Amino acid sequence: MKKLIVGNWKMNGNLTANQDLLVALAGNQNVASGACDAAVCAPVSYLFQLKNVLETTRWTWGAQDVSAHDAGAYTGEVSAGMLKDFNVRYVLVGHSERRQYHGESDSLVAAKAQRALAAGITPIVCVGETLAERERGETMDVVKRQLAAVIHAVGHCATELVVAYEPVWAIGTGQTASPPQAQAVHAVLRAQLVAACGEHGMSSRILYGGSMTAANAAALLAENDIDGGLIGGASLKPTDFSSILFAASAA
Ligand code: PEP
């Protein structure tokens, strides 16, 4: 299946720097030729800019979070319907930085995924274990529990999810899961999707995230069940990001 590369800018950017970066992305030949699929998830304040620069290209874009509520007295929250006004295609839900710093539970993440799907936005469901959980041998149990909460909430719509396996110990640390380590987790997630969605689970995309760089992307993306990447730090560097897009197109 065609690989999907998604950049996560996290809380970085400003209008001027974004413009340069987006113009560079818009000119990327691997994306323009359709050799890989690609998206950028930016802070909500810049979604209008992504829409302006990318709407005439093959790029898609997304947000990094969404409210579990539809509308009302939820100061500071942004609903899925509001994101849809900016034609977003994706929204990250359950990123480990949200689980860790904002106390997001599996059930809240599941509710967010439901809201996104109801608005016609594809949730990218992030799952992953901490270093302590890996050392205790709990990796598979943790990721299965996190994904099960979402599958349970969205029912037959599970076929429409994108899943991102992001070991917490690899995010922003420069430490990457080895390709076989990542593949082992992806295979478990694949089996879970197939159990929930039948053969459609075979075509659901499972991305790897956690210090993916120009240097390690090709080896990770060569694994059977690694269908793309969720890229933080390297997505802010046009040359590195374009090398990852190249690796995804060649994989
Ligand atoms: C992320 O933010 O989802 C991520 C994978 O970050 P990094 O690539 O910087 O590890």
Over residues 24-40, the pLDDT tens digits come to 999 999 999 999 999 99
* Spatial CA neighbour of 4 closest among 198, 251, 236, 172: 251
pLDDT in tens, 75-128: 999 999 999 999 999 999 999 999 999 999 999 999 999 999 999 999 999 999
pLDDT score of 183: 98
Please provide the DSSP assignment of 12-34 as one string: ---HHHHHHHHHHHHT-HHHHTT
Q: How confident is the model at residue 174 (pLDDT cuts 50, 70, 90)?
A: confident
* Burial degree of 85 (CB within 10 A; 0-12, 13-18, 19+): exposed
Q: Quick one: what percent of the chain has pLDDT higher than 90?
A: 93
Q: Is 200 a catalytic residue?
A: no
What pTM was estimated for this model as a whole?
0.97
pLDDT score of 109: 98
Q: Is 102 a catalytic residue?
A: no
Q: Quick one: what percent of the chain has pLDDT higher than 70?
A: 100
pLDDT in tens, 195-215: 998 888 889 999 999 999 999
Say which of 97, 104, 129, 166 is annotated catalytic: 166
pLDDT score of 155: 86
pLDDT score of 159: 87
Greatest extent of the chain over all pairs of C-alpha atoms, in Å: 48
pLDDT score of 201: 86
More confident residue, 172 or 213: 213
Tokens, residue 188: 């478990």
More confident residue, 149 or 200: 149
Residue 249 near ligand 1, beta carbon < 6 Å: no
* Burial degree of 178 (CB within 10 A; 0-12, 13-18, 19+): exposed
For the cut 80, the answer to whether the pLDDT of residue 57 exceeds it is yes
For a substitution probing ligand 1, which of 95, 125, 166, 176 has the most ligand atoms within 8 Å of its CB?
166
**Average confidence (pLDDT) over 8-34:** 97
pLDDT in tens, 153-169: 998 778 899 999 999 99
Provide the Cα torsion 120, 171, 222, 134; round to 10°.
-110
pLDDT score of 126: 98
Distance 212 CA to ligand 1 centre (A): 7
Closest residue by Cα to atom 6, ligand 1, is: 232
pLDDT score of 248: 97
Q: How does the average pLDDT of the chain come out, rounded?
A: 96
